[in-house]
């Protein structure tokens, strides 16, 4: 199950980055968006079934991610990005991507010896610099997406 969780997470991150770049370019990439949302939801859900004895910070992030993803799905598929739901969707999608990448960086510093040597307790500057770089990059792209993402949603019955 750990491998499935990791693969889903990597798919979610990759698809989320494609979706984010699409939003910065003002495009709704429907197929990539579905892949991002589904794989990121499944990442959060599979994280809960991984063996552990007590509540972990990743569990809290998983719950938060599911709430945020629910908002993104509602904004996109129920309210079809009308009015304020456009920027709510962008913000929720970007935040969900950030949380997935944040946990990915944590896991990378735990699992890869080349990174662990620079931040064995994840309180060292190397870890925080990596997290700040991720936050800055996704934050800047997210801000651009809020300004530039104005897709035309097709008319018709709501799905």
What does the alpha-carbon distance between residue 75 and residue 37 come to, in Å, rounded to a whole number?
A: 12
**What would the pLDDT profile of 86-132 be if each residue is shown by its tens digit?**
999 999 999 999 999 999 999 999 999 999 999 999 999 999 999 99
The mean predicted confidence, pLDDT, of the chain is 93
- 3-class secondary structure per residue, the chain: CHHHHHHHHHHHHHHHHHHHHHHHCCCCCHHHHHHHHHHHHHHHHHHHHCCCCCCCHHHHHHHHHHHHHHHHHHHHHHCCCCCCHHHHHHHHHHHHHHHHHHHHHHHHHHHCHHHHCCCCCCCCHHHHHHHHHHHHHHHHHHHHHHHHCCCCCCCCCCC
pLDDT for the residue 127? 97
Instruction: Give the start-to-end residue ranges of the domains of the chain.
Output: 2-148
**What would the pLDDT profile of 43-81 be if each residue is shown by its tens digit?**
999 999 887 888 888 899 999 999 999 999 999 999 999
pTM, 2 dp: 0.92
What does the alpha-carbon distance between residue 33 and residue 20 come to, in Å, rounded to a whole number?
A: 9
How many whole angstroms from its chain centre is CA 66? Answer: 10
pLDDT for the residue 159? 47
């Amino acid at each position: 199950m750990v491998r499935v969780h990791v693969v889903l997470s990597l798919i979610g991150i990759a698809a989320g980055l494609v979706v984010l770049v699409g939003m910065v370019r003002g495009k709704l990439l429907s197929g990539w968006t579905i892949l991002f949302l589904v794989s990121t939801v499944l990442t959060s859900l599979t994280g809960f079934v991984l063996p552990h004895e007590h509540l972990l910070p990743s569990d809290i992030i998983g719950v938060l991610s599911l709430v945020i993803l629910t908002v993104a799905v509602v904004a996109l598929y129920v309210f079809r990005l009308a009015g304020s739901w456009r920027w709510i969707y962008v913000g929720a999608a970007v935040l969900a991507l950030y949380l997935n990448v944040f946990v990915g960086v944590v896991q990378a510093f735990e699992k890869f010896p080349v990174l662990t040597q620079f931040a064995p307790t994840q309180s060292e500057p190397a870890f925080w610099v990596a997290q700040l770089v991720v936050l800055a990059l996704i934050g800047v792209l997210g801000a651009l997406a809020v300004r530039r993402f104005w897709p035309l949603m097709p008319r018709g019955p709501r799905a």
